[in-house]
Amino acid sequence: MRFTRAEYCVIACAEAWRGAGEVLASPMGLIPSLGARLARLTFAPDLLLTDGEALLVRPDGTPEGWLPYRQHLELVAGGRRHVMMGASQLDRYGNQNISCVGDWALPRRQLLGVRGAPLNTLNNPTSYWVPRHSRRVFVERVDMVCGVGYDRVAGLGGAARFHRLARVVTDLGVFDFATADHSMRLVSVHPGVSVEQVREATGFPLAVPDDVPFTREPGAQEVRLIREVLDPAGARAREVPEGTGS
Amino acid sequence: MGDKTMTAEEVVSRLASGMTLGIGGWGSRRKPMALVRALLRSDIGDLTVVSYGGPDVGMLAAAGRIRRLVTAFVTLDSIPLEPHYRAARERGGFALTEVDEGMFQCGLRAAAQRLPFLPVRAGLGSDVMRVNPDLRTVTSPYADGETLVAMPALRLDAALVHVNRADRLGNGQYLGPDPYFDDLFCEAADAAYVSCEQIVDTAGLTKGAAPQSLLLKRLSVTGVVEAPNGAHFTSCAPEYGRDEEFQRWYATTPWPEFAARFLGSDEAAYRAAVRDWRKEEERKEEER
């Protein structure tokens, strides 16, 4: 069977929640949402999911709890959560920017603002999803540190004890920070992507092991769930179209 | 017990240029838009606006009424980036205090509890510390010795919020899934003005609704305005969802054109203008 790039991305996102246990999965973006729900329906059945607003819901939509924003913020501070955020910029130590591009005082492009990124990154495991891997996103230095990277927590002492950047998933591959200096490392490339292509699209030196595996294929049950249950209309192809990738 | 009902114009008459104004709701959700529109019809400006920002911020920024904005984000939800806010930021239209969502909540809480600050882990290591050079840290006096952010109280001169129902005394009720932070905004403010879809008798509040839906206590509410559809074009569940078509028009129309067409007269004129706009759009749709 042939799988689309978007389907590899869904699998790679789902894997972020493997072994997470009974915590809230907070995916932002379509493909991370598909990944979280896929994980919940297969190898991570204890995950909690929201309806995107104030309800905790089972995969069929049945409400099982209440989580308004005020409680969501408390829950983040309590740490029982793994969030996958987007990133307008991301650097080699995992500093993330969603606030603005250029000088903060008079930005060239105003974006969302820091949102909850400072809170998230100091309190619960954080992953990132980047649908278009490019040098515009993967930069040497982000313009505004919203999500906190490993070099920035080094001096924080005890307040940094809950900081963990689990993985970065892009349309080209999967990355983590499991190097001696916590700089970003290539973990796998999606089938059809070369290591050289990833290096080319990354604006800083990337840690690359000698052997880079391919991102795993979806299993038969996973493909069925993605195509027939979670995203029958194929919206995933709009977030990661075929024939792109850098 | 006093009747606190008033008009949106009376609310605005109690506000003044230079005030620090908290605005409830969240993004493009249950924003006190009728009160914001009344504010836009006045000449009040030079405001410090404290808001989980949505079109309330976009409109006030476009109209040049903001001196400083305190926020964690500004978004229209279904349109991620608020175009009028963006434009104002990119031309240096006002000063910005950018903090994290959790820090923001802490600041309101500190104000509500009359504390100078509350400790919070969020913000450390991020550029929130760089762009807010006045922010200080506080060190735990206990064995852990942990250093945390001392988020200062976000004390407000006035708060504007919108809920589903209220009585004349200022007891306010939300009927949707999320209270957002409207009670905190009211408690953090010297004066709080609540608009609602409907004013009901006090006994009517708990007919068919649980007591925990009574979000706002009259002791922290100064004025009550009956403003049906008063959150338009943001959502006000369960009464109505976001008016996505109108929001899209707001987001894609030059501000002077939007303001001239919708913000000239009063709330009744606004509603009439929205009805006319809708008819016009439907006509265009039929012609296509």
What are the pLDDT digits (tens) for A165-203?
999 999 999 999 999 999 999 999 999 999 999 999 999
Confidence of residue A244 (pLDDT cuts 50, 70, 90): low
Cβ distance of B98 and A113 shorter than 8 Å = yes
Kindly state whether B20 is in contact with chain A, defined as any CB-CB distance less than 8 angstroms.
no
> Above 80 in pLDDT, residue B161?
yes
Alpha carbon dihedral A13, A17, A23, A27, in 10-degree steps, equals 0
**Rounded percentage of chain B residues whose pLDDT exceeds 70:** 100
> Above 50 in pLDDT, residue B113?
yes
Mean pLDDT of chain A: 97
Residue with tokens 């250093």: B147
Per-residue pLDDT, averaged over B33-62, amounts to 98
> Above 60 in pLDDT, residue B39?
yes
Query: For chain A, first and last CA: distance in Å?
Result: 24
Q: What is the pLDDT of residue B1?
A: 67
pLDDT in tens, A66-78: 999 999 999 999 9
Residue-level length of chain B: 288
B127: nearest CB among A109, A110, A145:
A145
Spatial separation of the C-alpha atoms in residues B181 and B108, rounded to whole Å: 9
Angle between helical axes of B33-41 and B55-62 (0-180°, round to 10):
10
Going from the C-alpha of A216 to that of each of A10, A28, A81, A95, the distances in angstroms are 11, 22, 25, 27
Q: Which class for B81: exposed (0-12), middle (13-18), buried (19 or more C-beta within 10 A)?
A: middle
The ipTM, to two decimals, is: 0.96
* Nearest one of B79, B24, B78 to B53, comparing CA atoms: B24
Mean pLDDT of chain B: 97
The token duo for A49 is 């999911």
Spatial separation of the C-alpha atoms in residues A187 and A208, rounded to whole Å: 8
Confidence of residue A122 (pLDDT cuts 50, 70, 90): very high
> Above 90 in pLDDT, residue A152?
yes
Kindly state whether A111 is in contact with chain B, defined as any CB-CB distance less than 8 angstroms.
yes
Q: What is the pLDDT of residue A1?
A: 83
CA-based nearest residue in chain A for residue B80: A112
- Is the pTM of the predicted complex or chain greater than 0.95? yes
Kindly state whether A156 is in contact with chain B, defined as any CB-CB distance less than 8 angstroms.
yes
> Above 70 in pLDDT, residue A246?
no
> Above 60 in pLDDT, residue A245?
no
Report whether the peptide linkage leading into residue B238 is cis, meaning its omega lies within 30 degrees of zero.
Answer: yes
Spatial separation of the C-alpha atoms in residues B250 and A212, rounded to whole Å: 49
Choose the weakest-confidence range: A25-29, A57-61, B101-105.
Answer: A57-61
Spatial separation of the C-alpha atoms in residues B264 and B123, rounded to whole Å: 41
Per-residue pLDDT, averaged over A69-97, amounts to 98
> Above 80 in pLDDT, residue A233?
yes
Chain centroid, CA B154 distance in Å: 14
Kindly state whether B133 is in contact with chain A, defined as any CB-CB distance less than 8 angstroms.
no
Kindly state whether B121 is in contact with chain A, defined as any CB-CB distance less than 8 angstroms.
yes
Taking CB atoms and an 8 Å cutoff, what residues of chain A touch B81?
110-112
- At A138 the three-state DSSP class reads strand
Per-residue pLDDT, averaged over A101-123, amounts to 98
Spatial separation of the C-alpha atoms in residues B117 and B129, rounded to whole Å: 15
Per-residue pLDDT, averaged over B254-258, amounts to 97
**Rounded percentage of chain A residues whose pLDDT exceeds 70:** 99
Q: In Å, how far is B17's CA from the nearest CA of chain A?
A: 24
Q: What is the pLDDT of residue B134?
A: 97
Choose the weakest-confidence range: A58-62, B76-80, B106-110, B183-187.
Answer: A58-62
- Which of A85, A112, A120, A150 best probes binding to B when mutated, by most B CB atoms within 10 angstroms? A112
Per-residue pLDDT, averaged over B181-204, amounts to 98
